[in-house]
Amino acid sequence: MATSTPAPVRFLDHSTPPHIFTLIVLTGIGALSMNIFLPSLPAMTSYFDTDYRLMQLSVALYLAVNAVLQILIGPISDRIGRRPVLLGSLVIFVLATIGCLLAPTIEVFLAFRMVQAVIVAGLVLGRAVVRDMYPADQAASQIGYVTMGMAVVPMIGPAIGGALDETLGWQANFWLLAILGLAVLALTWRDLGETAAPGRGSFRDQVAQYPELLTARRFWGYCLAAAFASGAFFAYLGGAPYVGSEVFGLSAAAVGFYFGAPAVGYFFGNFLSGRFSVRVGINGMILWGTILSAVGLLMSLLLFLLGLKTAIVFFGFMTFVGLGNGMVLPNATSGMLSVRPHLAGTASGLGGAIMIGGGAALSALAGALLTDGNGAYPLILIMLATSILAVISILYTIRRERYVNPG
């Protein structure tokens, strides 16, 4: 249970809680696994002699398995602790990455790609560890700083991936993931001490506590705000590589460079969360974040309608999506985890599953709607719609809290 005075931390001492650097790395490896190879999707399509829509499933299926795993990882970690779940997940991730490298067909590749999704444990339990160590307001701030550091990874990951693809081929991205996975495994083994006392009862007892969260309107309000806000980004993951390469005719390296635009905004959004969440409050930060994201996408759509259909306009305004997500996600996550603090791991997993599951559907939808002749419009419209729904979700949550707790 979180206290106002967290336990002392000694780096590389697994008898104490983990250093913030370790939490940043754990969350970052998952983000890197998700996006480093995206500029290589066209080349991988040719390598496996398939079509783009099938190759794009390497994103959608990965996200779908992420969602399922988060439902399991949360209660398992509440039951047996954070450390063993994280270490086991890292071992499986490394083996699955090697499987991706050796895959002879697209079907085998997609199977190992789905197993790779186990690395989501780093994101789920990184947040839960923070909530174990800090009370709600401080947790929002700390989660903001952790994910601000994580934002550096998606900022540079696609650029690195595009450069590796052009010089060494798409396999180089997965070799890098395997090597980094081993390094993170060693770091986690040395530094991450257990922060959650093992729960009592069976795994079934842990899962049986889901209704306690699912019937809480506050949990749903924060969960849907996070799901819709991040949904815009996941649609971007599924569609932006196609828009960059097929609509704007960019090279893999150029797609990788432009692709990191939302991560620039995400970095600053998380900085704002770390700096102002305690002062402004969780709800205020979420509201402003959702508004900024929707406004940025609306401006992008208007400029496209005026004829300014350029890569700079498209990717440039995506920084607003990242900025909004950086303000929304740490605060919405802290809100979800604070509803039932004794179920922090379960809440993180369930909330993340809903968020990622919706993201998988939006990613697949973006890939399906982006066809020759439509340009970038389907992707922009999908992202704008989900951003507006995020604004509505947090407005409902604020109204509900004022009704329950007037004054």
Nearest one of 318, 308, 298 to 375, comparing CA atoms: 308
Does residue 225 contact residue 286 with C-beta atoms inside 8 Å? yes
Report whether pLDDT(41) > 80.
Answer: yes
Element at 386 (helix H, strand E):
helix 377-404
Q: Which two tokens stand for residue 271?
A: 């900085």
Question: Which amino acid belongs to residue 336?
Answer: M
173-202 pLDDT, tens digit each: 999 999 999 999 999 999 988 887 666 555
- To the nearest whole percent, how much of the chain has pLDDT over 90? 32
- Distance linking the first and last C-alpha atoms of the chain: 29
Mean pLDDT of 118-133: 83
| Residue position matching structure tokens 């540079």 | 156
Write down the pTM of the prediction.
0.72
| Residue 67, pLDDT score | 81
DSSP readout, 180-237?
A: HHHHHHHHHHHH----SPPPSS-HHHHHTTHHHHHT-HHHHHHHHHHHHHHHHHHHHH
Better-scored residue on pLDDT, 24 or 291: 291
Side-chain half-sphere CA neighbours of 323 within 13 A: 15
Rounded Cα gap, residues 293 and 310, in angstroms? 20
Helices (DSSP H) in 49-81: which residue ranges?
52-55, 57-80
Tell me: pLDDT of 312 over 60.
Answer: yes
Domain edges within the chain: 20-192+204-404
Class of residue 367 by CB neighbours under 10 A (exposed 0-12, middle 13-18, buried 19+):
buried
Rounded CA separation 407/388 (Å): 28
What is the third-level CATH fold of 20-192+204-404?
Growth Hormone; Chain: A; (1.20.1250)
